[in-house]
Amino acid sequence: MAYKVFIHSSSKDIDIVRDLANRLELAGIEAHWANESARSDKTIRATNKALMDADENFFILTNESVDNPNLMILLGEDVSLRRRVTPVVVGLETSQVPSLIKSLKYIKYADLNRYIVDLATRTRAA
């Protein structure tokens, strides 16, 4: 059974989401995200199922999303539910990273390939 991740982001960061999803899928990891343009009942149900089935949740944090209260609420919920959360910081200086994110193990976008290789290795060994 494939390892599954769900990617949370601002709608403005869709190019980053697609890049991350592509990299994950090339490593054999199933990647899902909410498609804001497709809001039928069927896609909403599929998105909710992917969210519930996810083994890990990625949160894309950029200048566009770092102050997004909805994204921070989702992140806080996942942390409180003890779900595996991986913030991905893109283009932010350390001083711009919120304290909640600093308290988690976050990765910088430049280190993404290394994290994905480690993740793929870890999930194959499980």
61-113 pLDDT, tens digit each: 998 888 888 888 888 888 888 999 999 999 998 888 888 888 888 999 999 99
- The residues spanned by each domain of the chain are 4-125
Closest among 96, 84, 88 to 112, alpha carbons compared: 88
pLDDT band for 44, please (50, 70, 90 cuts): confident
Q: Assign domain 4-125 to a CATH class.
A: alpha beta
d(CA 13, CA 62): 8
Quick one: pLDDT at residue 5?
Answer: 95
In angstroms, the CA 85 to CA 58 distance is 6
Contact 115, 56 (CB under 8 A): no
Q: Give the DSSP letter of residue 8.
A: E
